[in-house]
Amino acid sequence: MKICCIGAGYVGGPTMAMIAKQCPDIPVHVVDLNRSRIDAWNSDSLPIYEPGLDEVVREARGRNLTFSTDVESAISEADMIFISVNTPTKTFGMGAGRAANLEFVEKCARQIATVASGHKIVVEKSTLPVRTAGAIKRILGSAGDGASFDVLSNPEFLAEGTAIDDLLDPDRVLIGGDSERAIDTLAAVYRRWIPEQKILTTNLWSSELSKLTANAFLAQRVSSINAISALCEATGADVDEVARAIGTDSRIGPKFLKSSVGFGGSCFQKDILNLVYLCEHFGLHEVAAYWEQVVVMNDYQKRRFAEKIVKTLFNTVSDKKISIWGWAFKKDTNDTRESAAIYVCRDLLREHARLHIYDPRVSRTQILKDLQTVMSDADGQLSPPDQRLIENHVTVASDCYASARDAHAIAVMTEWDEFKTLDYQKIYRAMPQPAFLFDGRNIVDRQALSEVGFEVHAIGKS
């Protein structure tokens, strides 16, 4: 048995590293078109930051885990091929802004059809619209004589920042398909370390739809508590107290009720928009409108946070220094896709604030790239005024202290643990008065910081 995975990203890389670690006798070959990404997987500095990942890769790499750009030979040698390429929201043509761009998935299927011989199991790891497996089957059906395929859906439920724990001990593994034999072959891989009862099997379409639905439900909880946070600020209720009170109801449960400046990440928004598009496609307009509100509420929460900063700073942030703490979409990852920080900073820049940004894991290059992308128009053009704002009003700082020195306000955008244990007396003394702190993650000790002298504004607290 040999495994190959096309796509060495946040999902393909860690998932294959875990399979290789747990199944030392199975060669696992991860391929990607992006040479510098593959070089990084083969180096001491991996392309993604994920706690515990280094150890897993170090154990398996060179033994039964290989990274290369040789897609064709990886496909032809493998018995089981995972497709884990990205499926971003389409930016052009039909369904732009909503539908998933399946170009890369289709290209993978065509390449498999061209190269493969003998019997192969093709596994969808990428999140895909329902019935994509049907299209993949048809493309594979065009393969030459001697090649035959089973197609399975095996969506990934790992969350970034906890990927290794999620892979080691998942709530469940989901495998959708119509061939018992193929399902059992894949289940046998997972059974090496995951108890049988956690391996769920369904038909293909249920598996594909379950992934979109799981992400939609999770994002919906965040948007629901964020909606209540606005009401808390207006009424004097405290959103963390409300979350605790409702979360102890076993029917609701305590997880995913942390109010924030808004959810980010590569999946939630993309998958909900994809669900919305699917519903529209099937004429289910009310269902589409229902789910779209989850994204509308998230956009509102990000905008509301930026507006709160401007209003609180006496209705102008022009030429004021604002210290931004955190750029990643959550702690313990260097991934910045759809991070709330990007949108809040865009709004503040357009108000001519001077931003000093610090994140322990995100590079200066990535921060500037994200700002350039978010401020560009639909054709990817950056207007000269926006270009000047990014050049002249953005500084990437080396730590929180440097970032906050002489700042009118601090905005906490990511819940990095290090923000909880800083010397806030020292930070306060280096800021002009009144010194404001806007906590987009409700992680600082409000009481203690108020005693230091800060005016603290948290989410969902009046």
In whole angstroms, how close is the CB of 35 to ligand UDX at the nearest point?
A: 9
Q: Which stretch binds ligand UDX (CB under 6 A): 29-37, 181-189, 194-202, 360-368?
A: 29-37
Q: Does 10 bind ligand UDX (CB under 6 A)?
A: yes
Q: Site residues for ligand UDX, window 222-241 (CB under 6 A)?
A: 222
**Residues 6 or more apart whose Cβ sits within 8 Å of residue 410:** 322, 323, 325, 403, 404, 427, 431, 435, 436, 437, 438
State the amino acid at position 57 in one-letter form: V
How far apart, in whole angstroms, are the C-alpha atoms of residue 401 and residue 439?
A: 16
Contact 314, 344 (CB under 8 A): no
SS3 151: strand
Q: Does 257 bind ligand UDX (CB under 6 A)?
A: yes
Phi-psi bin for 184: left (phi > 0), alpha (psi -120 to 50), beta?
alpha
Copy the structure tokens of residue 95.
Answer: 């369904």
In whole angstroms, how close is the CB of 71 to ligand UDX at the nearest point?
A: 7
In whole angstroms, how close is the CB of 211 to ligand UDX at the nearest point?
A: 7
Q: How many residues does the chain have?
A: 462
Instruction: Determine which helix (DSSP H) or strand (DSSP E) holds 118, and give its type and residue range.
Output: strand 118-124
For the sheet with 436-439, list strands across it: 394-396, 354-358, 321-325, 409-412, 436-439, 455-458
- Using CB under 6 A, which of 84, 89, 223, 323 touches ligand UDX? 84
Q: Does 85 bind ligand UDX (CB under 6 A)?
A: yes
Q: Which stretch binds ligand UDX (CB under 6 A): 22-30, 83-91, 305-313, 397-405?
A: 83-91
Q: Does 210 bind ligand UDX (CB under 6 A)?
A: no
| DSSP-assigned letter for residue 220 | H
Q: Does 33 bind ligand UDX (CB under 6 A)?
A: yes
- Using CB under 6 A, which of 1, 34, 178, 350 touches ligand UDX? 34
Question: Is 267 among the residues known to form the active site?
Answer: yes
Instruction: State the catalytic residue, choosing from 4, 267, 279, 400.
Output: 267
Instruction: Tell me the torsion sign for CA atoms 76, 81, 83, 85.
Output: negative
**Residues 6 or more apart whose Cβ sits within 8 Å of residue 74:** 4, 6, 29, 31, 68
- Using CB under 6 A, which of 160, 208, 292, 370 touches ligand UDX? 160
Q: Which stretch binds ligand UDX (CB under 6 A): 132-140, 233-241, 266-274, 319-327?
A: 266-274
Q: Does 242 bind ligand UDX (CB under 6 A)?
A: no
Size of the site for ligand UDX (CB under 6 A): 40
Q: Does 126 bind ligand UDX (CB under 6 A)?
A: yes
How far apart, in whole angstroms, are the C-alpha atoms of residue 438 and residue 158?
A: 30
- Using CB under 6 A, which of 64, 66, 223, 266 touches ligand UDX? 266
Contact footprint for ligand UDX (CB under 6 A): 6-12, 32-34, 37, 84-87, 104, 107-108, 126-127, 156-160, 215, 218, 222, 256-258, 260, 263-268, 329-330
What are the catalytic residues? Answer: 267
